Structure 1
Amino acid sequence: MTMNQPKNMISNAGHYKALIYLGWPIIIGQVGVIVLSFADTLMIGHHSTPELGAASFVNNMFNLGIIFCTGFSYGLTPVIGEFYGSKKFHEAGAALKSSLLANTLVGLLLTLFFYILYLNVGNLGQPAELIPLIKPYYLTLLASLVFIMLFNGFKQFADGITDTKTAMWILLAGNTMNIIGNYLLIYGKFGFPEMGLLGAGISTLFSRIAMLAAFVWIFFLSKRYTRYKIGFFRSVRLSGTFRRLNALGWPIGLQMGMETASFNLSAVMIGWLGTFPLAAHQIMCTISTVAFLVYYGMGAAVAVRVSHFSGQNDWANVRRVAYSGLRIILVLAVSISSVLFLLRNVMGGWFTESTEVSALVATLMIPMLLFQFGDGLQITFANALRGVADVKPMMFIAFISYFIISLPLGYFFGFVLHWGTVGVWMALPFGLTSAGVMFWLRFRKHAKGKE
């Protein structure tokens, strides 16, 4: 038996079962995020179309920061996965401590960056009537960035030790709180003031604080984490793990941030076309998030399983996990795409009473469906690379796919060929599919080099 030959080759069926077991709580938690996004857009859209346009701009800008935050925190996954796979539980607890410090510092840095952006929000070419709506909503979301980073640190730790259900329940409870808060503050129910879009922002801020508080309470007071808390409290030397988390987190955050930036900068271009196209773009981003977060829930399970086998130097099972995950995600893509295609003519009406916006949503559904395969492919192999800690090439692949291919094509289709909003969206399949192919080729090369 060679060094890299597995002691126990697991069948594809075994990998399917393990991935689904790990992935379904993550997906359910992600569905909670989807429901919240739907509720936000529905409630804001029915309150007023200008507020929906303002929400589109702000949410797309902050999605860039939030996705980067999430990506940076994903650097903890291969570290925790390796410690868990080799039963080094105290080291896993110490890694969480380093992760919380790193996440806090990055959260503060991003808060400063987005505050500088806030000072220049009036210079980004958005409709003048939206600026008074954009600014207060922007500030409430800005205040929540550090809380998101700290929550992500606890979540990635729990996922890495295969406790995916805790985060699921916290996310579901927090999102339920947010929806209730939206109803009370957007429309002014039960004696609360009618605050519109600002009310949605306040509700989001308080729900994010509550979710972090719940995770802190569970980790420090629950017996299930006792063996990890020993390492958390005893560790005093953070430098080694801290440096490794930064070496992993920044490339992952930048890769995911550049992907999100392709959507966010598309929103800026669409804002040049007016309020109705921007509102349609917000609805489409909400709908496409359904597929993305479901795929990414399963992709996170791929990263966890890959990191476990990578820590054991079991490369045959590393490859089997990745390709098993791809098959599951492709089945999910076909199922979700079929439903969205059948509902394409009615979904716009769920979010707004504007017939113009609804008609544009139905048209934009076609390019969205075209990038589902590419999205599933890039999610699978980005997470596989994350699981084996081969993350630096991901930055360059993302830059080529989204900044060299997708965004220039969006401008060309939308404004040179005068296809408008549809043209901007038609560029997205090119970027996502090219990223997926390049991630796959990189994973093949990395795994082959370990044989």
Structure 2
Amino acid sequence: MNFKEYTSEFSYNWKLAAPVMLGMLGHTFVSFVDNIMVGQLGTAELAAVSLGNSFMFIAMSLGIGFSTAITPLIAEADSSNNFDKAKSTFKHGLFLCISMGVLMFLGVYFSKPLLYFMKQPTEVVDLAIPYLDLVAFSLIPMIIFQGFKQFSDGMSMTKYPMYATLLANVSNVLLNYVLIFGKFGFPAMGIVGAAYGTLLSRFIMVIYLWWLLTKNERSKKLVTNIKLFVLDSLMLRKIINLGAPSAMQMFFEVAIFTAAIWLSGLLGKNPQAANQIALNLSSMTFMVAMGLGVTSMIRVGNQKGLQKYNELRRIAFSIFLLGTILAVGFCFLFFALHEYLPHLYIDSNDVENYADNMEVLKLASNLLIAAAFFQISDSIQVMVLGALRGLQDVKIPTIITFISYWIIGFPISFYFGKESMYGSFGIWLGLLAGLTTASILLYLRFNYLTLKLINNNELT
């Protein structure tokens, strides 16, 4: 194996992926800031944000997963200079994202009563309900933003979503500071203030990204003068056929992490708060892999449009190699700092909540050991899944993700996550098993498909 033919792509891959990573990290950083600021209020408040966001994660996974159908279609149209196809894909994708945003908001809003039937701590549920009302509404601008973002990524213009996300983060930090703690004459709103900060910053994000795209010559003609309600049923069906399985893939993965939140809630508010800390930290490193997953989707989509299948395979493996190297680095980082990172979220000097805080720190520290080891499998599965989306192969990967997370991962989490077994750590053993299974099976699928494409191309 000549490593240089793979490492030679690192520079371009990184150039394309870095803005996506920063944009993805920006989404997670909103949650990170919310968790740190809310964590200063107490462990019950931190657990409430965790519980409220568990509903949000499910809705977001469906909306974001659905929107990923836009990127490979745009990338294929862009590489073949098909203006009409690109504009049609964006228009129909945006229409579906708006519809999904409204649908997800209504779904979360009317499912709130379920919180009372999930055997979660009562004080946590009471705090989570008003938080969830506002954050649920923010799903509408969030998923609309995803429509613009996936279009921009497909055009290889990955910096614009990054700029919009960074602006949203600055806005969120300032709004949180003012509204959570009651600064500059505003009342102290606690976790409801965090919800307002998230809602307003997401509206800022989508408006700014649209404005940036209208200022660029390449994208201006594609995102303006759109007759949003003049629709082609064939294009709608094409996006739905790609988007629905992609949404389910993301749903199956996010849902098992959400199940981990609920299972940890059965153990009490402190295990739930500890789970939220470990989940938030590991999701930040996951966004780096997610950025490379988007890069593999873009580049594989481009090469598919050009029908250069040997190049497609080489480029994809170069992305997998880069991501694995980074994942190994994160694995060592988490393992080395597992006792220190949870302190970012908890006020160790809080005398009133000292006992709770110490228990949360200890539990979160143990969970980060499990999180360290699944960095590698988590990174591989999301990169390979991105490459498969670039090939527009979505149905078999959907079955693979369901088997990995719900036939293998969840039963392990449920059995070993009981208080009589390993508790929170047992829950995360299930996550590790599911992610590892997914990474292996998805890789085998990609390897099979690309070799088949190359062989068929050589025969013709």
Question: Which TM-score applies when normalising by structure 1?
Answer: 0.94
C-alpha deviations, 1:97-130, integer Å up to 9, x for none? 1001111222222223222321322111110111
Contact 2:330 2:372 in 1 (8 A): no
Q: How does 1:217-296 map to 2 (within 5 A)?
A: 217-229=211-223, 232=226, 236-296=230-290
The count of aligned residue pairs is 442
* Residue from 335, 339, 345 that aligns with 1:351: 345
C-alpha deviations, 1:356-387, integer Å up to 9, x for none? 10111111111111211110110111001000
* Residue from 441, 452, 458 that aligns with 1:449: 452
CA separation in 2, counterparts of 1:133 and 1:224?
47
Q: How does 1:108-127 map to 2 (within 5 A)?
A: 108-127=102-121
Q: How does 1:13-32 map to 2 (within 5 A)?
A: 13-32=7-26
Amino acid at match of 1:449: K
The yes-or-no answer on 1:418 pairing with 2:418 is no
CA separation in 2, counterparts of 1:225 and 1:395?
32
Q: Indicate the residue corresponding to 1:73 in structure 2.
A: 67
Q: Indicate the residue corresponding to 2:411 in structure 1.
A: 408
CA separation in 2, counterparts of 1:234 and 1:110?
20
Q: How does 1:32-431 map to 2 (within 5 A)?
A: 32-229=26-223, 232=226, 236-353=230-347, 354-415=357-418, 418-431=421-434
Q: Indicate the residue corresponding to 1:4 in structure 2.
A: none
SS at match of 2:10: helix
SS at match of 2:142: helix
Q: Indicate the residue corresponding to 1:440 in structure 2.
A: 443
CA separation in 1, counterparts of 2:323 and 2:55?
28
CA separation in 2, counterparts of 1:435 and 1:427?
12
CA separation in 1, counterparts of 2:242 and 2:306?
19
Amino acid at match of 1:402: Y
- Taking a change above 3 Å as real, the CA distance of residues 232 and 316 of structure 1, as seen in their structure-2 partners, is farther
Amino acid at match of 2:408: I
SS at match of 1:47: coil
1:392 to partner: Cα distance: 0.8
CA separation in 1, counterparts of 2:313 and 2:371?
29
C-alpha deviations, 1:161-194, integer Å up to 9, x for none? 1100111111001111001111111111111110
CA separation in 2, counterparts of 1:242 and 1:320?
32
Contact 1:15 1:320 in 2 (8 A): no
1:317 to partner: Cα distance: 1.3
- Farther off after superposition, 236-245 or 359-368: 236-245
- Taking a change above 3 Å as real, the CA distance of residues 222 and 450 of structure 1, as seen in their structure-2 partners, is closer
Long gaps (5+) in structure 1: 1-9
C-alpha deviations, 1:312-347, integer Å up to 9, x for none? 111111111221111110111122222222211111
1:18 to partner: Cα distance: 2.1
Higher relative contact order (CA closer than 8 Å, sequence separation 6+): 1
- Farther off after superposition, 344-353 or 277-286: 344-353
CA separation in 2, counterparts of 1:93 and 1:234?
11
SS at match of 2:279: helix
SS at match of 1:427: helix
RMSD over aligned CA atoms reads 1.8
CA separation in 1, counterparts of 2:228 and 2:372?
50
Contact 1:125 1:272 in 2 (8 A): yes
- Farther off after superposition, 34-43 or 49-58: 34-43
Amino acid at match of 1:196: G
Any runs of at least 4 consecutive aligned residues in structure 1 with deviations exceeding 4 A, and if so which? Answer: 229-237
C-alpha deviations, 1:124-152, integer Å up to 9, x for none? 11101112211000111110112111100
- Farther off after superposition, 280-289 or 216-225: 216-225
- Taking a change above 3 Å as real, the CA distance of residues 38 and 234 of structure 1, as seen in their structure-2 partners, is closer
Contact 1:90 1:232 in 2 (8 A): no
C-alpha deviations, 1:11-51, integer Å up to 9, x for none? 43443222111101111222323332221111000122110
CA separation in 1, counterparts of 2:239 and 2:156?
19
CA separation in 2, counterparts of 1:65 and 1:349?
30
Contact 2:145 2:209 in 1 (8 A): yes
CA separation in 1, counterparts of 2:180 and 2:187?
8
Long gaps (5+) in structure 2: 348-356, 455-460
Amino acid at match of 2:423: G
- Taking a change above 3 Å as real, the CA distance of residues 230 and 50 of structure 1, as seen in their structure-2 partners, is closer
SS at match of 1:415: coil
CA separation in 2, counterparts of 1:120 and 1:227?
45
Contact 2:95 2:228 in 1 (8 A): no
1:444 to partner: Cα distance: 1.4
1:67 to partner: Cα distance: 2.0
Q: Indicate the residue corresponding to 2:351 in structure 1.
A: none
1:389 to partner: Cα distance: 0.3
Contact 2:64 2:146 in 1 (8 A): yes
Contact 1:94 1:231 in 2 (8 A): no
Contact 2:267 2:419 in 1 (8 A): no
